[in-house]
């Protein structure tokens, strides 16, 4: 991928750190409301909690499908997790009639993943159903000034960071140039192309707002999003109640995720169209693919952000929670530059 330099909101990086020297340096734990145990006769979906190491979510889903003798489309999950990490997430497998007829299989031994919990449910696990993710990161070879670090962590905790899509969204082959995309012949690959295109166009808008200093500004006539949700409302006029919710991090301004505009409230503002004028060919291609537009928050506020030195004193350990769609790398980039031992290849959502 051609690297895009995105402006930061809280000043210069506090030094440089090594990230992902091992998968255990990047731990992701999915937060999910588990369904109640299904009653006999309703146990059609087997939910599996999987811990994976150095494996991508789609590959694990295919391994589960093969082990249980079903098609890959019968395996559900709430979101893709980083490949170069140690992650824990739930999958569901559609197995109608098998709960009372046959025992669970002996799971094959895999160096990349293991099953740590299971339960029967009456519904499939679908994309976006998780509540968010817990991150436990180790930044090695990093010794920032502790007073500066404390102030930066306080700014991030109180006001958030620009909600950029992280480099995991784009992969190695993505080339952000304002000319027509050549669509892949494979359906899954086309899905990644669409995701990368929209993510890049969103990042361009957000970068412009960060550069002008209004990435946190609430504008009359703008769609505001509730924290951790695609739901929101159109701000008709300023209100003290709205200001209080915004100050508490419960609401965020949004920028446009391009596509077909079926609801004018979710469409682009004139300034957003102007920002993306050079990329109209991409927007036309997205519309031809019947991709519907959406809005995404411009502000990402972590919860429970904490930091402590590593036991050997040569780095720092970070812990925080993010809503669905938030990238841990955006929090890290607000603190320091990173050197990666492995290039991330996969979306985190």
Catalytic center residues: 82
Q: With CA atoms as reference, report the closest residue to 198 among 225, 232, 174.
A: 174
- Could you give the C-alpha distances from 310 to 8, 146, 178, 205, 317, in angstroms and in order? 26, 13, 44, 37, 6
Cβ distance 176 to 2 under 8 Å?
yes
Q: With CA atoms as reference, report the closest residue to 296 among 204, 192, 213, 179.
A: 204
Cβ distance 23 to 137 under 8 Å?
no
Q: With CA atoms as reference, report the closest residue to 192 among 87, 93, 56.
A: 56
Q: How many CA atoms lie within 13 A of 15 on its CB side?
A: 17
For residues 323 and 188, what is the distance between their CA atoms, to the nearest angstrom?
Answer: 25
């Amino acid at each position: 991928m051609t690297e895009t330099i995105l402006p930061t909101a809280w000043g210069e990086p506090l030094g440089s750190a090594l990230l992902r020297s091992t998968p255990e340096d990047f731990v992701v734990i999915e937060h999910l409301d588990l369904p109640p145990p299904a009653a006999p006769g309703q146990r059609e979906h087997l939910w599996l909690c999987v811990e994976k190491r150095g494996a991508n979510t789609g590959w694990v889903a295919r391994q589960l499908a093969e082990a249980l003798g079903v098609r890959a489309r019968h395996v559900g999950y709430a979101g893709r997790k980083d490949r170069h990490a140690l992650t824990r997430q739930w999958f569901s497998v559609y197995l109608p009639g098998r709960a009372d007829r046959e025992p669970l299989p002996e799971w094959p031994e895999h160096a990349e993943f293991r099953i740590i919990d299971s339960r029967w449910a009456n519904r499939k696990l679908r994309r976006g159903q998780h509540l968010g993710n817990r991150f436990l990161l180790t930044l090695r070879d990093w010794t920032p000034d502790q007073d500066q670090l404390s102030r930066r962590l306080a700014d991030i905790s109180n006001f958030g960071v620009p909600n950029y899509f992280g480099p995991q969204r784009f992969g190695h082959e993505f080339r952000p140039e304002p000319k027509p995309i050549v669509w892949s012949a494979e359906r899954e690959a086309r899905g990644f192309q669409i995701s990368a295109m929209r993510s890049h166009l969103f990042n361009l808008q957000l970068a412009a707002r960060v550069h002008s200093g209004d990435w946190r500004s609430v504008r009359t006539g703008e769609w505001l999003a509730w924290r951790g949700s695609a739901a929101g409302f159109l701000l008709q006029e300023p209100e003290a109640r709205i200001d209080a919710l915004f100050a508490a991090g419960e609401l965020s301004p949004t920028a446009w995720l391009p596509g077909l505009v079926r609801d004018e409230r979710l469409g682009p503002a004139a300034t957003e169209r102007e920002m993306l004028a050079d990329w109209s060919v991409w927007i036309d291609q997205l519309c031809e693919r019947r991709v519907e537009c959406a809005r995404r928050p411009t502000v990402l506020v972590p919860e429970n952000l904490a930091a402590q030195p590593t036991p050997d004193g040569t780095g720092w350990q970070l812990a925080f929670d993010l809503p669905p769609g938030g990238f841990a790398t955006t929090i890290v980039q607000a603190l320091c530059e990173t050197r990666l031992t492995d290039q991330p290849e996969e979306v985190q959502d």
